[in-house]
Amino acid sequence: MNKLSYSEIFEKSKNNDDGIFIPFIVAGDPDYKTSLEIAKTLVDNGADALEIGFPFSDPVADGPSVQNADIRAFDGGMTIAKCFEFLKELREYTDKPFGLLLYYNLVYKHGIDEFYKKLSEVGVNAVLIADLPPEEADDAIKAANNHDLEQIFIVSQATSNERLKDITKIVGGFIYIASVMGTTGARGEVEHNTTELIKRIRSHTDIPLCVGFGISKPEHVKEVLDAGADGAIVGSALINIIADNLENEDVMFAEIADYITLMKDATKE
Amino acid sequence: MKYDGKFGKYGGIFVPELLIPAIEELEEAFYKFKDNKEFVEELNFYLKEFAGRPTGLYYAENLSKELGCRIYLKREDMLHTGAHKINNAIGQGLLAKYMGKTQLIAETGAGQHGIATAVIGAKLGLDVKVFMGSTDVERQKLNVFRMELSGAEVIPVDMGSKTLKDSINEAFRYWISNLDTTHYLIGTTMGPHPYPSMVKYFQSVIGKEAREQILELEGKLPDTVIACVGGGSNAMGIFSGFVDDETVNLIGVEAGGEGTDTLDHGATITKGTEGILHGSLSIILQSEEGQISETSSVSAGLDYPGVGPEHAYLHSINRAQYVPINNDEALDALKILCETEGIIPALESSHAIAYAVKYAKKEENKGKTIIVNLSGRGDKDMFTVAKELGVEI
């Protein structure tokens, strides 16, 4: 299937006067088949794009929800080779953009350019590498350019304006704003200075901004969009629904569908 | 950043963006204070009066006679808390204090780095949290108790292989969430820049002393320097004193575990490939797809699938050799040193002793002068050793 670009979906959302909603799952959690069905459920219920993680043995930037998702994926027989198949199969189902979130060793071991080439072939749009700051990213950016992929980078409250300026020069797709100083994970409230952070970044760039880390409720989505962000990313809260319903898949899919609908609706308010 | 932290192509800063400001702050502080007069005086005071430096370079006469070589032991085992780890803990602990941090966190495998961090935290009035794999908590109970006595909180880590690698993951996660108050006191020459350079700097006192001592005792440089390598801090410490002396052979000894033809070992340079783990590009043990391997060794301190990037570099330019010693050989060496010299080495250091014995027995090495870095003492390992020898205590 053809794929939409990030700029196309951001453009469309501007016209619709809503925000972009991006759920995150780990490919293969809890197993290949179920995970693929989950991804389709996300697409069918209003996800504008998908953020997909490749399971890694040592995910230092992730909290317990994603760590356990990685472990379930491994236990379910997931491999990196199967992750490529997963993306290929999912691309046949939807034209929505796919962004990957993964750790650099998986890319490096494979051969950086070769890895990006394969990602491009299976219809991926963008790549965010959790442990690859701009200082070390030259090879990855080159590979992304070679294969028509966008390289996404994270910024946080601790990112200085000077550094932010450098990041806006190299980032593709959108800027991923980490709303909390911490690992990934669902939290009760959006950190109070997130609004200021979004405004600060917005004052430096017109690149679309998506906020992740700690977003779990409709009011969080509304809050970050009101502050000027273009989209919201939700990972752990969704992954917790998977973890809590491993014994009853019907309930799992129903709850995921409800949750995604609710979160997408929040982008329209 | 001031420097890129590269040793040849190895090293670097492979960390989440959220850590970058902390890494920048640390780099700036390290290069500022390492030459600050007050800092240097305080560091030297603690190394001498608190840790017990300088340590001796001890001629192992009985062992030497038996092997037909001249074997010297650098007695890091005589330091406060029982291992070289205290050198680095004092250095970084002080640095944290100068930076205005109120809490130290550390990872630990054998517990030696954990206890070193715990005591310097107690001395300097800093809170201490030590992350330790639950497998290691079990096999190093004595050190857990010592850490707790010194006021540290020991946090068992139940993820993955429940050993050193997993405790490092958890320490990084905690650090990301507590950057303002907390210094992550990494115990070895791995991690993102500036850690490999900084830990080497604080451990280089070993090599500096050893070089002066051997010149005084023998009137010449040694032929060979041997040290065990997990992450590689004691080895980098002693190697740093001799790396510019091209005639001196440098040999790092890795954990051969149950044998490097099995999967149960920690012989990273011997069996590993290039990759990124815990903040730097180095040599690591990993699967074909780049997942990090679980390792195995009788010594918790060598049970790690990575190695400091500068070791990968010294290996790549052929300046140092890296060899494996398996569990049985290390245990035999521990007994040999107890029986010939009356010194009980740590299981980690026993790997270095074991290779020294093997090396000295080779015909071409007869009569050579060898320094072995006796990085720690074996008190902590007595339960493990007794169990391995089938003795109940």
Residues A105, B15: C-beta atoms closer than 8 Å: no
Give B-chain residues touching A136 at CB under 8 angstroms: 12-14
Count the Cβ atoms, other than its own, within 10 Å of residue B318: 7
Residues A133, B16: C-beta atoms closer than 8 Å: yes
Residue B1 within any structural domain of the chain: no
pLDDT (mean) for A192-202: 92
Same domain, B73 and B183: no
Same domain, B179 and B269: no
ipTM of the complex: 0.96
Last-in-domain residue among B137, B163, B195: B195
Domains in chain B: how many in total?
2
Give B-chain residues touching A131 at CB under 8 angstroms: 14-16, 276, 279
Give B-chain residues touching A110 at CB under 8 angstroms: 289-290
Q: In the predicted model, is pLDDT for residue A189 greater than 80? A: no
Phi, psi angle pair for B162, to nearest 5°: 60, 30
Last-in-domain residue among B155, B175, B195: B195
Residues B18, A106: C-beta atoms closer than 8 Å: no
Which of B181, B276, B295 to mutate to probe the A interface, most A CBs <10 Å? Answer: B276
Specify the CATH number for the domain of residue B165: 3.40.50.1100
Q: Is B392 marked active-site?
A: no
Same domain, B235 and B353: yes
Residue of A nearest to B175 (CA): A182
Q: What is the pLDDT of residue A136?
A: 98
Give A-chain residues touching B273 at CB under 8 angstroms: 109
Same domain, B132 and B273: no
Q: Is A51 marked active-site?
A: yes
| Contact assessment for residue A80 and residue A103, using Cβ atoms and an 8 Å cutoff | no
Measured distance CA(B114)–CA(A251) in Å, rounded:
46
Residues A106, B177: C-beta atoms closer than 8 Å: no
Residue B150 within any structural domain of the chain: yes
The CA distance from B273 to the nearest CA of chain A, in Å, is: 9
Residue B252 within any structural domain of the chain: yes
Same domain, B169 and B232: no
A80 has a chain B CB within 8 A of its CB? yes
Residue B69 within any structural domain of the chain: yes
A10 has a chain B CB within 8 A of its CB? no
The H-or-E segment that residue B10 falls in is: strand B10-11
The CA distance from A226 to the nearest CA of chain B, in Å, is: 24
Catalytic residue, chosen from A29, A48, A51, A223, is A51
Same domain, B20 and B128: yes
User: Using one digit for the tens of pLDDT, what is the confidence trace for B315-374?
Assistant: 999 999 999 999 999 999 999 999 999 999 999 999 999 999 999 999 999 999 999 999
Q: What is the pLDDT of residue B18?
A: 95
User: Using one digit for the tens of pLDDT, what is the confidence trace for B52-78?
Assistant: 999 999 999 999 999 999 999 999 999
A163 has a chain B CB within 8 A of its CB? yes
Q: In the predicted model, is pLDDT for residue A92 greater than 80? A: yes
User: Using one digit for the tens of pLDDT, what is the confidence trace for B265-275?
Assistant: 999 999 999 99
Q: What is the pLDDT of residue A236?
A: 93
Percent of chain A with pLDDT over 70: 100
Residues A108, B176: C-beta atoms closer than 8 Å: no
Q: What is the pLDDT of residue B107?
A: 97
Last-in-domain residue among B195, B230, B255: B195
| Contact assessment for residue A52 and residue A80, using Cβ atoms and an 8 Å cutoff | no
Q: How many CB pairs under 8 A join A and B?
A: 106
Q: List residues bridging with B10 in a β-sheet.
A: B7
Q: What is the pLDDT of residue B111?
A: 92
Q: What is the pLDDT of residue B36?
A: 98
Instruction: Please compute, for residue A155, the number of CA atoms within 13 A of its CA located in the half-sphere on the CB side.
Output: 28
Q: What is the pLDDT of residue A186?
A: 79
Q: What is the pLDDT of residue A156?
A: 94
A125-135 burial code (b ≥16 CB/10 A, e <16): bbbbbbbbbbb
Nearest to B299, CA basis, from B239, B208, B215, B230: B230
Count the Cβ atoms, other than its own, within 10 Å of residue B56: 14
* pLDDT band at A192; cut points 50, 70, 90: confident
Percent of chain B with pLDDT over 90: 93
Q: What is the pLDDT of residue B140?
A: 85
| pTM for the model | 0.97
Structure tokens at A22: 């991006």
Same domain, B217 and B363: yes
Same domain, B150 and B216: no
Which of B15, B18, B273 to mutate to probe the A interface, most A CBs <10 Å? Answer: B18
Domain membership of residue B187 as a residue range: 6-48+85-195
pLDDT (mean) for A124-151: 98
- The 3-class SS string of B51-106 reads HCCCCCEEECHHHHHHHCCEEEEEEHHHCHHHECHHHHHHHHHHHHHHCCCCEEEE
Give A-chain residues touching B18 at CB under 8 angstroms: 61, 154, 156, 158, 178, 181-182
Domain membership of residue A29 as a residue range: 6-266
User: Using one digit for the tens of pLDDT, what is the confidence trace for B175-221?
Assistant: 999 999 999 999 999 999 999 999 999 999 999 999 999 999 999 99
Specify the CATH number for the domain of residue A174: 3.20.20.70
Q: Which residues of B touch A (CB under 8 A)?
A: 1, 4, 12-18, 20-22, 159-160, 165-166, 169, 172-173, 176-177, 179, 273-279, 281, 284, 286, 288-292
Residue of B nearest to A134 (CA): B17
A162 has a chain B CB within 8 A of its CB? no
Measured distance CA(A41)–CA(A229) in Å, rounded:
25
Q: In the predicted model, is pLDDT for residue A269 greater than 90? A: no
Residue B393 within any structural domain of the chain: no
Same domain, B333 and B282: yes
Residue A193 within any structural domain of the chain: yes
Q: In the predicted model, is pLDDT for residue B120 greater than 80? A: yes
Q: In the predicted model, is pLDDT for residue B160 greater than 90? A: no
Q: What is the pLDDT of residue B221?
A: 98
Q: What is the pLDDT of residue A181?
A: 87
* pLDDT band at B235; cut points 50, 70, 90: very high
Same domain, B225 and B293: yes
Same domain, B256 and B365: yes
Residue of B nearest to A181 (CA): B177
Q: What is the pLDDT of residue B102?
A: 98
Q: What is the pLDDT of residue A222?
A: 96
User: Using one digit for the tens of pLDDT, what is the confidence trace for B83-114?
Assistant: 999 999 999 999 999 999 999 999 998 899 99
Give A-chain residues touching B165 at CB under 8 angstroms: 58
Q: In the predicted model, is pLDDT for residue B162 greater than 90? A: no
Q: What is the pLDDT of residue B121?
A: 98
Domains in chain A: how many in total?
1
pLDDT, chain A, mean: 96
Residues B16, A67: C-beta atoms closer than 8 Å: no
DSSP secondary structure string for all residues of B163-218: SHHHHHHHHHHHHHH-TTTEEE---SS-SSTTHHHHHHHHHHHHHHHHHHHHHHHH
Q: Is B109 helix (H, G, I), strand (E, B) or coil?
A: coil
Phi, psi angle pair for B287, to nearest 5°: -80, 175
Residues A155, B13: C-beta atoms closer than 8 Å: no
User: Using one digit for the tens of pLDDT, what is the confidence trace for A9-56?
Assistant: 999 999 999 999 999 999 999 999 999 999 999 999 999 999 999 999
Same domain, B286 and B176: no
pLDDT (mean) for A175-183: 92
Structure tokens at A260: 């995604």
Residue A1 within any structural domain of the chain: no
User: Using one digit for the tens of pLDDT, what is the confidence trace for B4-47?
Assistant: 999 999 999 999 999 999 999 999 999 999 999 999 999 999 99
Q: In the predicted model, is pLDDT for residue A191 greater than 80? A: no
